Amino acid sequence: MPSLEQLLAQVGSHREEMVEALSELIRIPAIGPESGGSGELERSRYLRDILDHSKFDDVEMYDALDERVRLRLRPNIIARRRGKADQTVWIVAHMDTVPPGDLSAWSTPPFSPRLVDGKLYGLGAEDNGQAIISGLFAAETLMSTGVELERGLGIALVADEEAGNEKGIRFLLQEGVFKPGDIIFVPDHGTPRGDEVEIAEKHILWLKFTVTGRQVHASRPDLGINAMRVGSELIVFLQEFLQRKYGERDPLFTPDRSTFEPTKRLQTVGNVNTIPGEDVFYFDCRVLPRYDLDAVQSDITAITDIFEQKTGARIRVEPVQLTRSGRPSDPEGEGMRALRWAVQRVLGVEPRPVGIGGGTCANFFRLAGMDAYVWQTIEELAHQPNEYCVIDNLVNDAKVYATVLAALCCGSQFKA
């Protein structure tokens, strides 16, 4: 039976292969159709090939139908190694990326990996390539020791995380891939020191407001209804009202309160001397899980009704995104204890449980009644130009997850 030290040394010996695998991943674009991309198919074929040559017992594809992409499918890969118990420990990572944005902001092309000073540059290197590669190597190294698994071990590589999860983790949950009692890890949020485990997320509510007044010449405001003025008053009133009414604080989260922020506003008139007949703006609300989103929405409706009566304008409110948050994961659950122990053992820091403004795949497990823990060591460069992955983080995350899997899947067999 190998010792934990030997297992960690074996993970470390795969450093070059991990860099190579992540480089290859970066070369294969996996952008969703809502951003003009063709999805994850090519990338999934590369990963499928790695998994077919691994020690997993079975590798299955769960293809979600999506009319918007070539071959009309969004691929999800489920790799499993059976254990004695009918319970599985999962590492879940997403294959898709956001688009690169302004190419002139990238100092090297986003799909051409470049290794400089221990950092591998490329789109999706950190979000979520690091998790895919560290998860794969953690699992494969553990399985290569030949130990018998008490619990099963699974890797889920999912599509469509950056734009709603409908063809990804939500699809897999509907398909019944995961079972109550499974323990889930989602390496898709973290800090540079690896000292946070995310166990809770806020509700997410994005709203679009359209205020319709009456457009007139700016010299005759009394003849019209200035939609921008109505909209502006509404923005200030809503923000203050909601912030006060839903004002409880929870130190688990940063920031420790619900937030209700006006964000995007459309230009409706192009000249100075016209009173706008329309005003369009958006709110991004992140609400503590203790509150009911329906109550927030009915308060907003009541307020817009009053504004309509008072001003004569018409106000339409449409949700652009509504994601309820599940019950926070148990901060003393078995998954959390194993993770805390592994992080201490490998990195020498004690991670603390935190909540974030959302959202990761973990939330959908929590909504389904499962505990999910979000941990990795990252520079927090997701969605930025010149995104990179620190190779030490890549290798250390693999060591931490190999330790977690050893503790949960092989229990007593590993000599600590």
88: closest CA among 138, 150, 141?
Answer: 150
Nearer to Zn ion, 77 or 315 (CB): 77
CB of 383 to Zn ion, least distance (A): 9
Part of the chain binding Zn ion (CB under 5 A), chosen from 121-129, 267-275, 288-296, 334-342: 121-129
**Taking CB under 5 A as the criterion, which residues in 165-194 touch Zn ion?**
188
Position 259 contacts Zn ion (CB under 5 A)? no
The backbone torsions φ and ψ at residue 134, rounded to the nearest 5 degrees and listed phi first, read -65, -35
From the candidates 161, 278, 279, 397, give the one annotated as an active-site residue: 161
Nearer to Zn ion, 127 or 371 (CB): 127
CA separation for the pair 277, 211 (Å, rounded): 8
Query: Which of 96, 201, 279, 387 does the annotation list as catalytic?
Result: 96
Which residue(s) pair with 183 in the sheet?
A: 89
Is 198 a binding residue for Zn ion by CB under 5 A? The answer is no
Stretch that binds Zn ion, among 123-131, 230-238, 296-304, 367-375 (CB under 5 A): 123-131
The answer to the question of residue 160 lying near Zn ion (CB under 5 A) is: no
Single-letter residue type at 168: G
Least distance in angstroms from the C-beta of 163 to Zn ion: 11
For Zn ion, the closer of residues 78 and 378 by Cβ is 378
Among 71, 62, 61, smallest CA distance to 33 is for: 71
Q: Are 411 and 89 in contact (CB under 8 A)?
A: no
Applying CB under 5 A, does 96 fall inside the site for Zn ion?
A: no
User: Is 67 among the residues known to form the active site?
Assistant: no
The SS3 of residue 60 is strand
Contact between 127 and Zn ion by CB under 5 A: the answer reads yes
Spatial separation of the C-alpha atoms in residues 313 and 209, rounded to whole Å: 12
- Closest approach, Cβ 256 to Zn ion, in A, equals 24
Nearer to Zn ion, 128 or 258 (CB): 128
Q: How many helices (H) and strands (E) does the chain have?
A: 10, 19
10 binds Zn ion (CB under 5 A): no
Which residues in the 128-147 window bind Zn ion by CB under 5 A?
128
Nearer to Zn ion, 8 or 172 (CB): 172
Q: Which is nearer to Zn ion, 278 or 387 (CB)?
A: 387
Question: Counting contacts by CB under 5 A, is residue 371 touching Zn ion?
Answer: no
Site track 381-400 with Zn ion (rule: CB under 5 A), x = hit: --------------------
What is the spatial distance between Cα 21 and Cα 59, in angstroms, rounded to a whole number? 19
Residue count, binding to Zn ion (CB under 5 A): 3
Cα 340 to its chain centre, rounded Å, is 21
Query: Has 57 been annotated as catalytic?
Result: no
**355 within 8 A of 198, measured Cβ to Cβ:** yes
Per CB under 5 A, 201 contacts Zn ion: no
Centroid of chain to Cα 302: 33
Shortest distance in whole angstroms from residue 187 CB to Zn ion: 9
Q: Other CB atoms closer than 10 Å to residue 107's CB: what's the count? A: 9
C-alpha to C-alpha distances, 331 to 257, 355, 370, nearest whole angstrom: 20, 11, 13
**C-alpha span between 15 and 316 (Å, rounded):** 55
Instruction: Compute the distance between CA of residue 86 and CA of residue 396 in angstroms, rounded to an integer.
Output: 29
Instruction: Please report how close the Cβ of residue 57 comes to Zn ion at its closest, in angstroms.
Output: 28
Closer to Zn ion at the Cβ: 127 or 279?
127
CB of 124 to Zn ion, least distance (A): 9
Query: How far is Cα 344 from Cα 16, in angstroms, rounded to an integer?
Result: 25
Reported as type and span, the H/E element at residue 322 is strand 314-323
Minimum CB distance to Zn ion, residue 310 (Å):
43
The set of catalytic residues is: 96, 161
User: Under the rule (CB under 5 A), what is the footprint of Zn ion?
Assistant: 127-128, 188
